C-alpha cells in the first residue's frame, strides 16, 4: 500500500513544546505538536475498507494526546501516534469478504476500539487501542466494522454530518444511561417533565437535543454567546458560564446554584451532562435536583474528582461515569442525524493544512462551534450538493 500524508503526535514534539511552554499545559501551542507526517498504509485484508478522507472534526482526546496532561499516550504507543477519531470518507476499495460497502460509498467512522463482551469499548481507536491508526490522513485502511453509511439524506450539510461521528454516539450513550438511571428511581407518573442541563460544547449540545426531542426542559451552560444563541433557537435556554467566573470559587458555585434554582422554580436539574470532570464537577452536583443523575464521559479537565458522599446520598444523587457507545449504539445514534442532532459548526471550515491551528484554537476555547477541517479538495458528486 502507498504512503500518504497524515498528521502525527510524537513524544519528541510533546517534550519540545512542553519545554517552550515552561511546563504549563495552558500555554502549549498544539499546532507545534500536531505535525504533518507520512503514514504507510497497511495491506488491505479481506474484511477491510480502503477509503479517502473527505472531512474530519476536532476532538478533545487529541488535546490530551498533544499536551500529555493526563497520560503521555504517544509514549505509551511507542513514541508516535497517528490521531483522528472522527471522519467522513469515500470508499475506494473493499476486501473480498466485505458486503456492506462498495467503492463510491460515503461513510463515517466510529471510534469503538476494542469492544468487550457487552459491546462497550475497552479502548478508543486512534488513541489507546493497540496498533490503531486514526483518520487525520489523506487515506486510510480500516476494518469494515469500524464504518457506518453516512446519512446523506438526513437534512444536514456535509460539515454538520462530519461533526457527529464521535460526538453523537457519546451523547446518545450518556442520554440513555442518564434517563434510564433516573427512571429506575423516579417513574414517569411521579415526574414526567425533567430539567436537563449540559455544560460546555458539542456533546452537551447533542445531549440536550435528546432532551428537547422528548419534551423535557433543557439548559445549556456555556461561555460562548454564539453557541448559546444557536441552541436558544431550538428551545434550549442558555446560562452564561462566564457570569459565574467558570466556577473559580465556592462563592461562584453558590451563585450558580442559586441561578439554577431560580430558572427551575426551585427544583434544580434532574439530569446533568457534566463538563467531563474538573472544576465544573462541583457546580454540576450543586445544580442537581433531589434524585438527580450526573453523567459524564472523559476527563477534559482532570482524571480525579472529589465530592461529599454524605450529601449526595441524602439527596439520592447518582454519579455515573461513561466511556463510549457500543457499535450498535453508534448505528442507532446515526439515525438521529438531522431529526434530533443539529450541531453548531464553527464559522470557519479549516483547510487541511490548518488542522493544527484548528486544534490550538480549540485548546484556547475561542471557537463558535464544532471545528471541522476539509481534507479532500475534490469531493465526490454524492456530497457536492451538501457543501454550503
R_g over Cα of the chain: 21
- Say if 333 falls within a structural domain: no
Average model confidence (pLDDT) across the chain: 92
* More confident of the two residues 276 and 143: 143
Look at the chain and report how many structural domains it folds into: 2
Q: Is the pLDDT of residue 26 over 70?
A: yes
Q: Do residue 46 and residue 155 come from a single domain?
A: yes
Spatial separation of the C-alpha atoms in residues 39 and 56, rounded to whole Å: 17
DSSP structural state of residue 146? G
Q: Do residue 266 and residue 353 come from a single domain?
A: no
76: left (phi over 0), alpha (psi -120 to 50) or beta: alpha
Q: What is the mean pLDDT of residues 288-296?
A: 93
Torsion of CA 218, 220, 225, 229, to 10 degrees: -20
92 and 103 in contact (C-beta within 8 Å)? yes
Spatial separation of the C-alpha atoms in residues 124 and 118, rounded to whole Å: 15
Residues β-bridged to residue 341: 337
Q: Do residue 101 and residue 154 come from a single domain?
A: yes
Spatial separation of the C-alpha atoms in residues 55 and 365, rounded to whole Å: 21
Q: Do residue 177 and residue 318 come from a single domain?
A: yes
Of 57-61, 168-172, 295-299, which range is least confident?
A: 295-299
Report how far apart the first and last C-alpha atoms of the chain are (Å, whole number).
34
Give me the pLDDT at residue 68, please: 87
In DSSP notation, 279-315 reads THHHHHHHHEEEEEEEEEES-SS-S-----HHHHHHH
List, in order, residues 6 or more apart from 92 with CB less than 8 Å away. 50, 51, 52, 103, 139
Q: Is the pLDDT of residue 382 over 90?
A: yes
Spatial separation of the C-alpha atoms in residues 366 and 344, rounded to whole Å: 14
Q: Do residue 156 and residue 194 come from a single domain?
A: no
Q: Do residue 176 and residue 190 come from a single domain?
A: yes
Domain containing residue 24: 3-163+345-384
Spatial separation of the C-alpha atoms in residues 167 and 145, rounded to whole Å: 18
- Say if 300 falls within a structural domain: yes
List, in order, residues 6 or more apart from 304 with CB less than 8 Å away. none
Torsion of CA 117, 122, 127, 131, to 10 degrees: -50
Q: Is the pLDDT of residue 211 over 90?
A: yes
Q: Is the pLDDT of residue 184 over 90?
A: yes
Q: Do residue 175 and residue 152 come from a single domain?
A: no
Q: Do residue 151 and residue 23 come from a single domain?
A: yes
- Say if 156 falls within a structural domain: yes
Confidence of residue 302 (pLDDT cuts 50, 70, 90): low
List, in order, residues 6 or more apart from 157 with CB less than 8 Å away. 386, 387, 388
Q: Do residue 280 and residue 197 come from a single domain?
A: yes
Q: What is the mean pLDDT of residues 311-323?
A: 87
Q: Do residue 200 and residue 246 come from a single domain?
A: yes
Q: Is the pLDDT of residue 300 over 70?
A: no
Q: Do residue 361 and residue 270 come from a single domain?
A: no
CATH of the domain at 213: 3.90.180.10
Look up residue 49 and give its three cell numbers.
Answer: 475498507
Give me the pLDDT at residue 23, please: 87
Give me the pLDDT at residue 193, please: 97
Amino acid at each position: 500500500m502507498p504512503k500518504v500524508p497524515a498528521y502525527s503526535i510524537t513524544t519528541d514534539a510533546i517534550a519540545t513544546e512542553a519545554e517552550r511552554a515552561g511546563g504549563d499545559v495552558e500555554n502549549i501551542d498544539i499546532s507545534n505538536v500536531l505535525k504533518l507526517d507520512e503514514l504507510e498504509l497497511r495491506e488491505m485484508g479481506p474484511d477491510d475498507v480502503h477509503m479517502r478522507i473527505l472531512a474530519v472534526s476536532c476532538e478533545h482526546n487529541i488535546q490530551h494526546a498533544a499536551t500529555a496532561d493526563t497520560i503521555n499516550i504517544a509514549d505509551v504507543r511507542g513514541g508516535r501516534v497517528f490521531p483522528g477519531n472522527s471522519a467522513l470518507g469515500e470508499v475506494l476499495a473493499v476486501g473480498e469478504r466485505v458486503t456492506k460497502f462498495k467503492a463510491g460509498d460515503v461513510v463515517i467512522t466510529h471510534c469503538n476500539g476494542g469492544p468487550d463482551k457487552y459491546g462497550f469499548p475497552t479502548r478508543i481507536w486512534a488513541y489507546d487501542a493497540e496498533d490503531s491508526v486514526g483518520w487525520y490522513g489523506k487515506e486510510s485502511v480500516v476494518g469494515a466494522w469500524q464504518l457506518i453509511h453516512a446519512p446523506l439524506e438526513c437534512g444536514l450539510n456535509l460539515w454538520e454530518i462530519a461533526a457527529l461521528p464521535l460526538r453523537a454516539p457519546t451523547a446518545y450513550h450518556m442520554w440513555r444511561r442518564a434517563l434510564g438511571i433516573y427512571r429506575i428511581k423516579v417513574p414517569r407518573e411521579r415526574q414526567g417533565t425533567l430539567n436537563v442541563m449540559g455544560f460546555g460544547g458539542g456533546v452537551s449540545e447533542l445531549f440536550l437535543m435528546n432532551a428537547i426531542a422528548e419534551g423535557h426542559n433543557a439548559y445549556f451552560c456555556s461561555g460562548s454567546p454564539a453557541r448559546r444563541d444557536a441552541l436558544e433557537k431550538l428551545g434550549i435556554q442558555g446560562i452564561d458560564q462566564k457570569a459565574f467566573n467558570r466556577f473559580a470559587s465556592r462563592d461562584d458555585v453558590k451563585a450558580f446554584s442559586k441561578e439554577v434554582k431560580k430558572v427551575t422554580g426551585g427544583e434544580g436539574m434532574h439530569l446533568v451532562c457534566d463538563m467531563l470532570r474538573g472544576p465544573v464537577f462541583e457546580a454540576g452536583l450543586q445544580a442537581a435536583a433531589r434524585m438527580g443523575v450526573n453523567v459524564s464521559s472523559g476527563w477534559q479537565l482532570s482524571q480525579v474528582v472529589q465530592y461529599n458522599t454524605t450529601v449526595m446520598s441524602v439527596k439520592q444523587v447518582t454519579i455515573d461515569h461513561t466511556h463510549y457507545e457500543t457499535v450498535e449504539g453508534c448505528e442507532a445514534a446515526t439515525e438521529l442525524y438531522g431529526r434530533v442532532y443539529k450541531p453548531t459548526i464553527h464559522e470557519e471550515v479549516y483547510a487541511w493544512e490548518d488542522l493544527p491551528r484548528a486544534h490550538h484554537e480549540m485548546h484556547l476555547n475561542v471557537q463558535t462551534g464544532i471545528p471541522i477541517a476539509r481534507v479532500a479538495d475534490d469531493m465526490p458528486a454524492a456530497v457536492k450538493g451538501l457543501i454550503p
